[in-house]
Amino acid sequence: MRLLTHNMLASNIKGVTNGFPLRIEPEKIIEKPVDFNPDFLKNMFSKIDWKALADASKIMGYAELPDEVPEQTVVESDEFLRKFHHALLEVHLEEGALVCPETGRRFPVNKGIPNMLLHEDEV
């Protein structure tokens, strides 16, 4: 699971009002290189929840992203975009869990696939 996917997933348990971001419990992290597409990244930047991405990236062992939302001039730079690219698309949570920030319910991640299925009483 890429951090881009993490950035768009929220806890889906009934009654939870603030289910984002899911806390990551990493057990196994892998990296898979993909082609660098600056136009995609610039467009994606405005849609990302920055704090969630920077925090998740740190937990996943990649601490190169700034904590604060970067200025537009920085966002245009190749140096920044390459780091953003790496954190967003190349770092994968292979094994571990996603934890609902409100209830502490764990959603396991096996072979890179988060299991977001709910129990009957959570729907």
Partner 1 sequence: MKLKQLESLLGNLQQFQNPKIELEQYPTGAHIASRMLYTAENSYDDISGKVVADFGCGCGTLSLAATLLDAEHVIGIDVDDESLEIASVNADELEVELELIQSEIKNLQWRGQIVDTVVMNPPFGTRKKGADMEFLSVALKVASQAVYSLHKTTTREHIKRAALRDYNASSAEVICELRYDLPKLYKFHKKKDVDIAVDLWRFVPKAKQES
Q: In the complex, which residues of this chain contact partner 1 (CB under 8 A)?
A: 1-2, 4-5, 7-12, 19-20, 32, 34, 37, 39-40, 44, 47-49, 89, 111-118, 123
Q: Provide the minimum distance between the beta carbon of 48 and partner 1 in the complex, in angstroms, as a whole number.
A: 8
Q: Provide the minimum distance between the beta carbon of 119 and partner 1 in the complex, in angstroms, as a whole number.
A: 11
Nearer to partner 1, 24 or 48 (CB): 48
Task: Give residue 122's identity as a one-letter amino acid code.
Answer: E
Angle at 94 between CA 91 and CA 99, to 5 degrees: 95
Q: Provide the minimum distance between the beta carbon of 116 and partner 1 in the complex, in angstroms, as a whole number.
A: 4
Query: Cα separation of 78 and 23, whole Å?
Result: 29
Nearer to partner 1, 59 or 108 (CB): 108
Nearer to partner 1, 63 or 81 (CB): 81
Task: Give residue 81's identity as a one-letter amino acid code.
Answer: L
Nearer to partner 1, 64 or 122 (CB): 122
Residues 38, 81 contacting (CB under 8 angstroms): yes
Q: Which of 120, 117, 98, 99 lies closest to 109 in space, CA to CA?
A: 98
Q: Which of 79, 92, 88 lies closest to 50 in space, CA to CA?
A: 88
Q: Provide the minimum distance between the beta carbon of 74 and partner 1 in the complex, in angstroms, as a whole number.
A: 21
